[in-house]
Structure 1
Amino acid sequence: MKTFLKRLSQHRDRLSQLEKQVLDYLLINPDKVIKLNVNELAKELFVSTATISRTCKQLGYDGFQDLKYTLSKYVDQDKEVHVISSTTMLSQIDRMKAEMDQTLQSINEEQIQKAASFIKESNFVEFFGVGASHPTCVEAARKLTFSGKISSAREDWDELRCVANSLTEQDLAILVSFSGETLHILEYANILKERNVRTIAVVGRQNSRLQQEVDLTFHAQIMNGYYGDLDMSSRFPLSILLDLMILTYMNKKS
């Protein structure tokens, strides 16, 4: 939740004074906002429903309902947070093992084969991942490049936007996101969809907005884990799925 709210706050400078008022209330009272409809929120803030709608669109959402839906999922996730302490090493091993086992059990071989075919048929593969998901993309792009398929995983957000606007129907984009709700990743996915670029999403949450924008989705089983304020949620289940795609591609290639 903290990361999501921080991401929303980065848009503050582009907002009007009234829109900032809406954003600030949302950042302070997320649990309350998800229980209100747009009219109730407007009365609470003494602004118009149109102001709330404009604020939501400035934040990258279609409207209040769209933002409220995403916010509610983060509120639910916070209830599932696994608190990590230095005295519970064995419980952390159990958590990691459960994530790996559940991820492997959920794999659909037909989908893995389809993803490998997408890779094989593409001229170029770009990995899209920001924040904590970016290192996972770098590792996958490196492996895929060594296998003989030209690929890349750029870090700069503006550069990724330029790449999304440059890929063609002969290329492939693989988008990696723990939540499937990262605003930049959703923006890139929308651009890629408009350009008819084939897309694969690897996410750590079911029913995310990202999976609605792509051709093929894989779900890793990841539990929220925090040590104090530090996000210690694993990303290795995402890597497992990417490794399987790449290995299956290499088998197809050979």
Structure 2
Amino acid sequence: MTTTSAADRESKGDLLQRIQERYGTLRKSERIVADFLRENAGTRLDSSITELGRTLGVSEATISRVSRALGYDGYPDMKLSLAEGTRNRANAYVNIPPEIDGSDSLVTTSDKLATLLISGLAGTQRMLDAQRLELAVEALVKARKIVFVGVGGAASICDEAAHMFIKAGFDASAYRDGYTQTIMAATLGASDVMVGISHTGTTDTVARALKLARENGATTIAITSDADSGVARAGNVSLTTWSSTQPLVPLHGDFLEGRISQLFLIDLLYVGTLFRAGARTAETLQKTGAALEKWYRRGGESA
């Protein structure tokens, strides 16, 4: 079988573009292969089709189907395209996925962004540890006080988390500065829970707050993409979000897929906690809902 030339491959779109256009038509097992290719675009793949299948837990036939679905002559041709990767796609904006190009129309950008975020959620779902999730929900259900800590983009997720848990009747709060995070960690005890959120897992204030809260007997839950990071190690329970291989540049905007994955896990913990807590949370949500409806009908702040 002949191998397609680089010019022919380019005329049909690079690897990332092909995955973007065809991702929705792939089967679940085929998306595992597509996710791997997208995350490793621009790198040389030395594995044989058998070795890659073993690594990803899929069959050789699945990899071959993906090759054909993406418009390649076969696995060798797809490997060459993987090595070429994103070298011709310049993106001046750090932390923006390389699949999104400034020359795209807004509709195209919308389609690409939706696919990327869905892929991030699917990756986070695949990495969920059922036992850890159960432990986290159990701790939240029993908590006297729940404290969420994060900085930057993660702080916004913490605010949303506290808002949801408060409406369900939990004593919940969120803090975004190291000074207050430290104070709160020092006051927590065995009946309390601190949830720390950091995409990279290297946010020192969050790691230290979790560590202090844990030393004082509180249950700590870490949400991060790096299972070996300081934030992850400071948690009694660590939940891992999906992460791209694209380098993250601190202080230059947030990693889009990481933010949506964090919110996904918070929503999952919230729903799980509601169901486990039972009638008391359902009643509280009805009360807070009725109170807010009355407040809005009276004009809110102007009342």
| TM, length-normalised to structure 1 | 0.63
Question: Residue 180 of structure 1 corresponds to which residue in structure 2?
Answer: 201
Structure 2: state its 5+ residue gaps: 1-94, 279-303
Q: Aligned to 2:147, which of 126, 131, 135?
A: 126
**1:249 maps to which of 264, 273, 298:** 273
Residue 231 in 1 paired to residue 253 in 2?
yes
Map of 1:1-254 to 2, 5 A cutoff? 82-83=97-98, 84-86=100-102, 87=104, 89=109, 90-223=111-244, 224=246, 230-234=252-256, 235-254=259-278
**Shift of residue 112, structure 1, vs aligned partner:** 2.0
Contact 2:178 2:206 in 1 (8 A): no
- Following superposition, the deviation at residue 232 of structure 1 comes to 4.3
* Partner Cα distance (2:132, 2:138) in 1: 10
Question: Contact between 1:177 and 1:185, CA under 8 Å: does it hold in 2?
Answer: yes
Q: Give the whole-Å Cα distance in 2 for the aligned partners of 1:147 and 1:166.
A: 23
Q: Are 1:112 and 1:244, in contact at CA under 8 Å, matched by a contact in 2?
A: no
CA distance in 1, matches of 2:156, 2:181: 15
Contact 1:81/1:225 (8 A) holds in 2: no
**CA–CA distance in 2 between the matches of 1:131 and 1:226?**
14
Give the letter for the 2:166 counterpart. Answer: T
- Please give the per-residue CA displacement for 1:180-229, whole angstroms capped at 9, x wherever unaligned: 111111221221122121100011223212222211000111335889x9
Question: Which residue of structure 1 lines up, in the alignment, with residue 57 of structure 2?
Answer: none
Q: Percent identity?
A: 18
Maintained 8 Å contact 1:186/1:210:
yes
Q: Secondary structure at the residue paired with 2:255?
A: coil
CA–CA distance in 1 between the matches of 2:162 and 2:135? 18
Query: For the aligned residues, what is the CA RMSD?
Result: 2.5
User: Hey, what's the Cα distance between the residues in 2 that align with 1:147 and 1:106?
Assistant: 28
Consecutive unaligned residues in structure 1, runs of 5 or more: 1-79
Q: Secondary structure, in 3 states, of the residue corresponding to 1:193?
A: helix
CA contact (8 A) 2:226 2:232 kept: no
- Give how far 1:107 is off: 1.9
Cα distance in structure 2, aligned partners of 1:232 and 1:185:
17
1:90-118 residue CA offsets vs partner (Å, 9 max, x unmatched): 44333212101111222233322221110
Instruction: Give the SS at the match of 1:133.
Output: helix
In 2, Cα distance between equivalents of 1:171 and 1:139: 19
With over 3 angstroms needed to count, the CA separation of the structure-2 counterparts of 1:109 and 1:226, relative to structure 1, is: closer
Is 1:127–1:137's contact at 8 Å kept on the other side of the alignment? yes
Take 1:81 and 1:142, find their aligned partners in 2: how far apart are those partners? Answer: 28
Query: Which secondary structure does the structure 1 equivalent of 2:227 belong to?
Result: coil
Task: Tell me the distance in 2 between the aligned counterparts of 1:125 and 1:99.
Answer: 27
